[in-house]
C-alpha cells in the first residue's frame, strides 16, 4: 500500500483501529460478549423486499449517498455504481482500477471517491474525468456541492477542489492528537457553511476560501495515553435545519447551532457510531448495543433498550414512527421511536450490515459486508 503520510502517523492509525476494535470486542473475561438472542417477533410494520443488487465486498467502504431517486455506492475493491432506487437498475457502474478507502460523494452529476493510493477521483456517468493526489489517506466520504469537491484527510486537513478540473482551490490544515480513527468523520454543508470535525471540535469553514467561521468544542482529550485521549468527531452527523448533532468517539453526544457556532447541549455517551433523528428526538447506539434516544431540544435521555445487546449495531435511521438499525448478523431491526420496542425484523444475506440504513423516497436501503445492496418498501 502506497502512503503519502508520515509512517509514524500510519502506524499509529492502524494501532488505534486495532486497539479500539479490541476494546469494544472483548469483555473483561477475555472473550467476546455473547450477542443477545433474537426472540420471536410479531411484526408491527410490514415491509417487502423489492430488489437486491450485488456491488462487491464492502469492507470499510460502506456509506450510501442518496440523491432523490438515485443511490451512489462503492465496493472496497474499486467498483463504483449509481442505481435507480425504484428498480435497483444500474444507471452506471464502473471499476476505477484501485481499491477504495472512502464511500462515494455524489450530487446527482459528479461522483467522487478516494483510492488507497491517496488519490481523489471524480467520475461523471462512470467515466473518470480527473484525479488529484491527496496529502494523506481519507476515510470520510468526499462532499460534492456547489461544483466543488471537499475532502477531509486523516492528517486533519480539509481541502476544496474544482469539480470541473480537479484544481485545488484551498486547504486548511489542523494539527491535533496523533491518533486518528479509520472510519468516516463529519463533512457536511449547512447553508453557506462547510461543517467538519477536526479532532474533538466541530468547525465551521467558509467553503469559498477555507477560513474558519466558528469552532465548538465537543470533547476535550483527557487521559494518560494517546488511546484514552481519542475524541474524534464521527460521522454520520445528523442535521435538521441549522442544528447539527454529532458524536465524539466514546465520550459525548452533542448538538450545535451551525448558524451561530454555539453549543446547544452535550451529554456523556459511550459509542462509536454516528447519529440520526427527527424533529423531536436524536437517536444513537452505545458500544454495548443499546439504542438510545435523547430529546432534541435538551439532550435529556428519553429511552434505551437492551434487546439487541452486543449485536454490533449500525448508526440509526429515523424513519417515520420507527428507528432502523442493522446488526452484524445480517438483520435490519425496526424499533418504535417512542420507546425503542421492537416492531419488525428484516433478514438479508447473513453477513454484517455495514452501511448506515438510508432512505430514498419510500425505499429503505442497506448494504451488507458481502456487498449486496438491499431495498425494502412499506406494505
| pLDDT of res. 164 | 96
The distance between the two most distant Cα atoms of the chain, rounded to a whole number of Å, is 56
Q: Residue 90's closest CA among 98, 81, 77?
A: 81
Contact indicator for 153, 142 with CB cutoff of 8 Å: no
| pLDDT of res. 224 | 67
Instruction: Give the DSSP letter of residue 50.
Output: E
Q: Which triple of cell numbers denotes residue 69?
A: 431517486
Binning pLDDT at 50, 70 and 90, where does residue 18 land? very low
Contact indicator for 276, 259 with CB cutoff of 8 Å: no
Task: Identify the helix (H) or strand (E) that includes residue 274.
Answer: none
pLDDT in tens, 266-275: 999 999 999 9
pLDDT in tens, 166-223: 999 999 987 765 567 788 999 999 999 999 999 899 999 999 999 999 999 999 877 6
Phi, psi of 221 (to 5 degrees): -60, 135
| pLDDT of res. 227 | 66
Mean pLDDT, range 8-25, rounded to an integer: 41
Q: Which triple of cell numbers denotes residue 196?
A: 467538519
Give residues with Cβ within 8 angstroms of 375, minimum separation 6.
49, 50, 51, 52, 85, 88, 363, 364, 365
Contact indicator for 162, 124 with CB cutoff of 8 Å: no
Written as one string, the DSSP assignment of 54-84 is E----TT----EEETTEEEEE-TTSEEEEEE
Q: What percent of the chain is modeled with pLDDT above 90? A: 79
Binning pLDDT at 50, 70 and 90, where does residue 310 land? very high
Query: Across the chain, what does the average pLDDT equal?
Result: 90
How far is it, in rounded angstroms, from Cα 198 to Cα 194? 12
| pLDDT of res. 306 | 96
pLDDT in tens, 84-96: 999 999 999 999 9
> Could you tell me which residues are beta bridge partners of residue 53?
373
| pLDDT of res. 228 | 65
pTM of this prediction?
0.89
Q: Which triple of cell numbers denotes residue 113?
A: 471517491
Contact indicator for 248, 234 with CB cutoff of 8 Å: yes
Of 33-47, 69-83, 93-107, the least confident = 33-47
Q: What percent of the chain is modeled with pLDDT above 70? A: 89
R_g over Cα of the chain: 19
| pLDDT of res. 23 | 42
pLDDT in tens, 226-235: 666 678 999 9
Amino acid at each position: 500500500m502506497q502512503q503519502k503520510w508520515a509512517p509514524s502517523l500510519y502506524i499509529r492509525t492502524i494501532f488505534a483501529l486495532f486497539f479500539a476494535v479490541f476494546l469494544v470486542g472483548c469483555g473483561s473475561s477475555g472473550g467476546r460478549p455473547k450477542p443477545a438472542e433474537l426472540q420471536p417477533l410479531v411484526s408491527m410494520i410490514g415491509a417487502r423486499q423489492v430488489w437486491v443488487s450485488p456491488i462487491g465486498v464492502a469492507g470499510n467502504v460502506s456509506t450510501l449517498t442518496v440523491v432523490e431517486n438515485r443511490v451512489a455506492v462503492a465496493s472496497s475493491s474499486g467498483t463504483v455504481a449509481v442505481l435507480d432506487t425504484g428498480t435497483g437498475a444500474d444507471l452506471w457502474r464502473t471499476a476505477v482500477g484501485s481499491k477504495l478507502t472512502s464511500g462515494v460523494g455524489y450530487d446527482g452529476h459528479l461522483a467522487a471517491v478516494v483510492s488507497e493510493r491517496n488519490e481523489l477521483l471524480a467520475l461523471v456517468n462512470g467515466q473518470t474525468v480527473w484525479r488529484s493526489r491527496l496529502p494523506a489517506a481519507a476515510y470520510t466520504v468526499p462532499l460534492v456541492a456547489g461544483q466543488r469537491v471537499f475532502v477531509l484527510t486523516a492528517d486533519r486537513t480539509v481541502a476544496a477542489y474544482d469539480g470541473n478540473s480537479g484544481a485545488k482551490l484551498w486547504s486548511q490544515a489542523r494539527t491535533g492528537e496523533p491518533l486518528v480513527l479509520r472510519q468516516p468523520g463529519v463533512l457536511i454543508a449547512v447553508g453557506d457553511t462547510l461543517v467538519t470535525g477536526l479532532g474533538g471540535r466541530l468547525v465551521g469553514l467558509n467553503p469559498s476560501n477555507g477560513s474558519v467561521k466558528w469552532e465548538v468544542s465537543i470533547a476535550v482529550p483527557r487521559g494518560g495515553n494517546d488511546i484514552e485521549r481519542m475524541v474524534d468527531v464521527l460521522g454520520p452527523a445528523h442535521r435538521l435545519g441549522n442544528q447539527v448533532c454529532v458524536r465524539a468517539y466514546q465520550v459525548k453526544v452533542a448538538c450545535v447551532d451551525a448558524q451561530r457556532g454555539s453549543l446547544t447541549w452535550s451529554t456523556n455517551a459511550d459509542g462509536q457510531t454516528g447519529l440520526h433523528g427527527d424533529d423531536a428526538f436524536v437517536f444513537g447506539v452505545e458500544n454495548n448495543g443499546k439504542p438510545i434516544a435523547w430529546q432534541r431540544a435538551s439532550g435529556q435521555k428519553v429511552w434505551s433498550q437492551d434487546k439487541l445487546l452486543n449485536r454490533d449495531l449500525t448508526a440509526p435511521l429515523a424513519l417515520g414512527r420507527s428507528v432502523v438499525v442493522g446488526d452484524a448478523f445480517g438483520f435490519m431491526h425496526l424499533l418504535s421511536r417512542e420507546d425503542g420496542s421492537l416492531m419488525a425484523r428484516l433478514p438479508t444475506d447473513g453477513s454484517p450490515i455495514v452501511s448506515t440504513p438510508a432512505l430514498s423516497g419510500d425505499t429503505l436501503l442497506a448494504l451488507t459486508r458481502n456487498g449486496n445492496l438491499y431495498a425494502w418498501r412499506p406494505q
